[in-house]
Amino acid sequence: MENSPSDPRRVVVTGLGIVHGLGQSVDTFWASLLAGRCGIDRISRFDPSDLACQIGAEVRDWDPADHMDPKEVRRNDRYTHFGYVAARQAVKDAGLDMTKADPDRVGVVIGSGIGGMWTYESQLKVMAEKGARKVSPFTIPSLIGNICSGLVAIDLGARGPNFGVVSACATGTHALGEAAHMIRRGDADVMVAGGSEAAITPFAYAAFSSMKAMSTRNDDPAHACRPFDAQRDGFVMGEGAGVMVLESLEHARARGARIYAELAGYAATCDAFHITQPDPDGKGLSMAMRRALASAQVKPEDIDYINAHGTSTPYNDKFETLAIKRIFGDHARRLAISSTKSMTGHLLGAAGGIESVISVKSIQTGMLAPTINLEHPDPDCDLDYVPNAARAAKVRTVLSNNLGFGGQNASVVFRAI
């Protein structure tokens, strides 16, 4: 994806949507981040007592029927509820009037790393307790990972490109990047894109805990997720959705849309190293960042802020720091970097969607959300991670990273326009 200042197919962000425990709107969510609030607490949706990890960043005080047809609520999974509502927010924020748009030129790509886990678990229980004939006929369409995109398209009447992306924790960034590709090559004028996840379930927690990937700091939930801190002991799961409206610059200007920023660059690579562990040399992530910068036609020293993947796991934080140093050289020590997962938890396939919204808000507001709980500096993580308090800064160009199981890497560049 190449960019030129005169290219009418440049891709811009015109709408933002968020559903998260720290806020069910972008403004509330952003205010929570700048205040350094942590959305992590003991799990309330089920009894986690038998699990190694008993904490998470849940969306509480949430009734999807407040936002969508109760019939559709019953037919769809929690992850679809989140993505659908975030998409509606983003479309409203963009001022996109589908009665004036060409529906054949509007598409949707909303991904999920896990899909309908609540549906999967609940219907297996129905089958075990009541027999196969009692399994809901909506089970398959509810649990598969492309249905959120399909439901949003039905709601909008959008007949353009439509599918789901599944690439573990890189999903949301891949969805945005691939949607931008579609606009640039002329397949669509508008794309609604991002990620949604609702994997705070007993089975998902049991599975992740068996990998020893999750924090067990159950007695202190608000301080459990501590990216780049020497005492980090694993990630903490979150749930929710982050969705954007992307448009060609030409289309956005023609309809007088407010433009937040340009999605200027994107790249996807693979470590080809291990199914769960990132490459210890950071080569795959380094290549993704290098290619994203090249596609945006910006130099490393042009980047003002990095929203890091920063999962609070021993390997990821160390190797991501190494990759940043490799690409940015001396500029790495002048960069502001933060992991907002310290407050949001790790939203798996929705992480890239939410963190891209955060990146764009940083450009819009000139504020950087912090990495909270950074109390014991790790000698291997020795950069400026905006520790513990938000910071005002001049922010014109932002890089956001996301990595996923399977060695997936995705980097995206946003810049002021």
Angle (CA) 138-139-140 rounded to 5° is 100
Those residues whose C-beta lies under 8 Å from the C-beta of residue 114, and which sit 6 or more positions away, are 79, 145, 197, 198, 199, 204, 348, 349
Q: Would you name the residues annotated as active-site residues? A: 169, 309, 346
Tokens read off for 86: 């975030």
Closest among 300, 280, 274 to 289, alpha carbons compared: 300
Work out the angle between the directed axes of helices 147-156 and 78-94 (0-180°, nearest 10): 40
Q: Name the residue type at position 54.
A: Q
Does residue 371 contact residue 342 with C-beta atoms inside 8 Å? yes
Tokens read off for 248: 């060609």
Those residues whose C-beta lies under 8 Å from the C-beta of residue 47, and which sit 6 or more positions away, are none
21-29, Cβ contacts within 8 angstroms, sequence gap of 24 or more: 21/57, 21/58, 21/59, 21/60, 21/238, 21/239, 21/240, 22/57, 22/343, 22/344, 24/59, 24/62, 24/85, 25/89, 26/89, 26/93, 26/357, 26/361
Torsional class of 187: left (φ above 0), alpha (ψ -120 to 50), beta (otherwise)? alpha
Calculate the alpha carbon distances from 371 to 36, 136, 173, 330 in Å.
8, 43, 20, 22
Q: What is the largest CA-CA distance in the chain?
A: 64
